[in-house]
Amino acid sequence: MATTKKKTCIVCGDEITGRPDKRFCSDNCRSTHHNRHNSDHTNFIRNINNTLRKNRRILEGLNPEGKATVHRDKLLEMGFNFRYFTNEYVTRTGTVYRYVYEQGYTERDNGYLTLVVRQAYVE
């Protein structure tokens, strides 16, 4: 006669009934375990995504017509973080456009930036 070892939940320690491969006693314990496991990575990603969203909102607010010129200091005053952007496009002439999703900018002379909205041909 085989003896069966009682399995316990890896989160709360309660006895598990049901399938033999279960690791959690409830959906709540399963969620708690995965939230604890992923919290460090999730916080890092969440912070980056929040910065990207903020950058996009700033660019969109300053560029309602689709093309505008604004001083770099204005973006900094509004909390824009130049280290975070989603992609970069270099034209044939060497002009570098940095995009935050569809909102983009390129640096001009004397600290000015030209704000643009991504065109369909930019990949």
The per-residue pLDDT string of the chain (123 residues; one tens digit each, 9 = 90 and over) reads 555 678 899 999 898 888 888 999 999 999 999 888 877 777 888 899 999 999 999 999 999 999 999 999 999 999 999 999 999 999 999 999 999 999 999 999 899 999 999 877 555
| pLDDT score of 20 | 85
- Note whether 62 and 68 are within 8 A (CB): yes
Distance CA 98, CA 87 (A): 6
Residue 49: both structure tokens together: 């995504």
- Residue range(s) defining the domain that contains residue 58: 27-117
Q: What is the reported pTM? A: 0.69
3-state secondary structure (DSSP) of residue 31: helix
Q: Is residue 17 part of a domain?
A: no
Domain presence at residue 12? no
Question: What's the number of domains the chain is made of?
Answer: 1
Give 12's contacts (C-beta < 8 A, 6+ positions apart). 25, 29
Residue 53 belongs to some domain of the structure = yes
Is 79 contained in some domain?
Answer: yes
Q: Does 98 reside within a domain?
A: yes
